[in-house]
Structure 1
């Protein structure tokens, strides 16, 4: 009786998990895989004949499922298919040369190919099928020898080309690029603000090392999933706090015709760091900050900002302002504002409703909102 729960748990592990993709994505991937296999096989048949093309279609079909259905996986990246096909073909041809064509040499070719794909970072399951196809080749392929590399690599490159074109045209980014480090806005050695607390990149690396198993997801995608999970959890815990609730509504604005001296006077009087710039129709066309004014002063060759502004009162904000402006909608959740105001070096975010400026969220507004939320949870 004690073994029944354990047996039930073991048996339940065979039940497949639900897919987190939509039927539209299934159809997109299915059409792409069919098209990729067809085009690759037609090219191979045109160059090397029907028998060779048909004999190599097995691994081609398996690769197509990876490249079109799970293109974000580590096993589906460009080097995975090209490197695995090349490795498996060379290993299989060596097995044939030394041991002949047999089930034993075919099995050995699969094992050695797998062992080599790992350090070469080109693990790709259909590579095992390539090794089998090469060892157990038909009459038309036996006499090709090492020339068999050509049709195998032609298939890999044709299918890869189809995946690159089709996936990106259907708005699926492929291949998955490596995450670039956050821009160091302050030119210091500190990590970005969002990486100073919580889960870090080093934590992800350590977790993958601790698992010690093959994981069909790139390290970059895994970190993105973790970050997105943290974001959704924080959003749930903070409730429905929106930009429109925490923004400052009495916004001091300038126009493109405002002079630099007038802008500096406004910034000093209201203790501000930035000024939104509106046109005659009250549409946001730019933003200017103290950094912009200082930068203009340096480009003008004057060390004294006040002196420069006093000498050139005709310099207008339209010549200095930054555009386009990073904005948010009044319905944007406060969680969406955090990376903009912490990791991108922005001091404020203009808030729009139907294209019109209705307020501004500053770093101070965000800190106050987070503080109130923390007090409410502690209370």
Structure 2
């Protein structure tokens, strides 16, 4: 029975039931809106379809795997439009539908690869154009833009809005220039050599592979040496400022206590940001106007789990908060280094 259940496990890494249900809802809403807008533009009496079938496959990528290089706006729009144009060209030059179908899909792959807009539904767009009959033939090159291009642009726009509302990043952006990359035990060229050695193509960008491997390093470190919690290593004497304090007050506290980061407290004493000398170089009347988003954690988090966040060049300290969001300690880069040294020297 267990083996049977595993056969239905999602093959996508990181896929959760919540994400899949959200993807279903997003695709449902997007295709309905795309169809309505397409009908308004094409018109109810036009012979052209107002919604083309490959857009359904594009919706799977945009809503189910928004981080995929194949699901980004240029592949969706450029891939579908370019492939349709290839199909129209083959339709005009090749009479045999079987030969034409193969040539259209092969040509679409070549053109999308050259234009860096590889998009699997583009192959379906090229094939649909060849076998679509006289309606598409009479429409000519305009068919690639209305309805195909229109459908693609509307789908991308709705995908952007949907992922903004649900907390995903679309278009997908990988953090670049990460100092943690320079400190890790592998480099981008190592990823390139590994990919060349494996000899396979993966539906994930090289930068994302590097980011994933660095996260794996962090979690492996926590698993092997993660007994100490943030509460065990944190400094409990927290120097803090209020949102309405002046920058001069914050600067004086930083220098007097020889610290690099101060939590900024809002109403109820909750942490709403952090401030250091880097933020205080900008002019402002109140500290709250200068505060950066805080790096926070709970006391029961393994201390080494903070290693990536405290080495990415963005934060010098993590604010440890209680259940109400009030500060109860600080874990600095020095605290983390001490915890790491203890973990690596303690007998197993």
Tell whether the structures are fold-level matches, with TM greater than 0.5.
yes
Q: State the alpha-carbon separation in 1 of the partners of residues 250 and 19 from structure 2.
A: 53
Q: How many angstroms does 1:334 deviate by?
A: 1.1
Question: Helix, strand or coil for the counterpart of 1:360?
Answer: strand
2:27 to 19, 30, 33: 33
Report the counterpart of residue 309 of structure 1 in structure 2. Answer: none
Shift of the 101–31 alpha-carbon distance from structure 1 to 2, 3 Å rule, reads: farther
Cα–Cα, structure 1 residues 237 and 147, in superposed 2: closer, same or farther, change >3 Å? same
- Judging changes above 3 Å, is the alpha-carbon distance between structure 1 residues 16 and 208 closer, same or farther for their aligned structure 2 residues? farther
The Cα RMSD (Å) is 3.8
> Radius of gyration: which is bigger?
1
> Which residue in 1 is equivalent to 2:163?
167
Q: What's 2:79 paired with?
A: 84
Q: What is the match of residue 312 of structure 2?
A: 343
Cα pair distance change 1:50/1:233, threshold 3 Å: farther
Q: Which residue of 2 aligns with 1:334?
A: 303
**Aligned partner of residue 300 in structure 2, secondary structure:** coil
Q: Is the 8 A contact 2:83 2:122 kept in 1?
A: yes
Q: 2:131 aligns with which of 112, 133, 136?
A: 136
Q: Give the whole-Å Cα distance in 2 for the aligned partners of 1:356 and 1:128.
A: 55
Give the corresponding residue for 2:341: 371
Task: Provide the residue aligned with 1:303 in structure 2.
Answer: none
Query: Match of 2:307, SS?
Result: helix
Q: Is the 8 A contact 1:274 1:287 kept in 2?
A: no
Spell out, residue by residue over 1:234-286, the C-alpha distance to the aligned partner (whole angstroms, 9 max, x if none): 1111233211101233556789599799758844xxxx34485898x977788
Q: Which moved more, 1:19-28 or 1:90-99?
A: 19-28
Aligned-partner Cα distance in 2 for 1:287–1:68 = 35
Shift of 1:17: 5.5
Q: 1:71 to 1:50 in 2, by over 3 A?
A: farther
Q: Structure 1 residue 227 and structure 2 residue 222: aligned?
A: no
TM-score, normalised with respect to structure 2: 0.78
The alpha-carbon distance between structure 1 residues 266 and 253, as it changes in their structure 2 partners (threshold 3 A), is: farther
CA contact (8 A) 1:82 1:156 kept: yes
Give unmatched runs, 5+ long, in structure 1.
1-14, 183-191, 300-316
Q: Which of 361-370 and 323-332 deviates more?
A: 323-332
From 202, 206, 224, the counterpart of 2:189: 202
1:74 alignment counterpart: 69
Deviations 1:100-151 (A, max 9, x none): 3522112111111112212221111111111111112233222122222222
Give the superposition deviation at 1:69: 1.4
Distance 1:40 1:260, change over 3 A: closer
Counterpart of 2:4 in structure 1 is none
Contact 2:264 2:288 in 1 (8 A): no
Partner of 2:331: 361
Which range moves more in the overlay, 248-257 or 333-342?
Answer: 248-257
Distance 1:148 1:226 in 2: 44
**2:230 aligned with 1:240, yes or no?**
no
* Partners of 1:60 and 1:155 within 8 A in 2: yes
Paired positions, count? 331
Provide structure 2 residue ranges, at least 5 long, that are not aligned to the other structure.
Answer: 1-6
TM-score by length of 1: 0.73
Distance in 2, matches of 1:149 and 1:129, equals 13
Pairwise CA distance, 1:51: 4.4
> 1: distance between equivalents of 2:111 and 2:308?
41
Local SS of the residue matching 1:92: helix
Q: Answer yes or no: is the 8 Å Cα contact 2:226–2:304 preserved in 1.
A: no
One of 34, 58, 68 as aligned partner of 1:63: 58
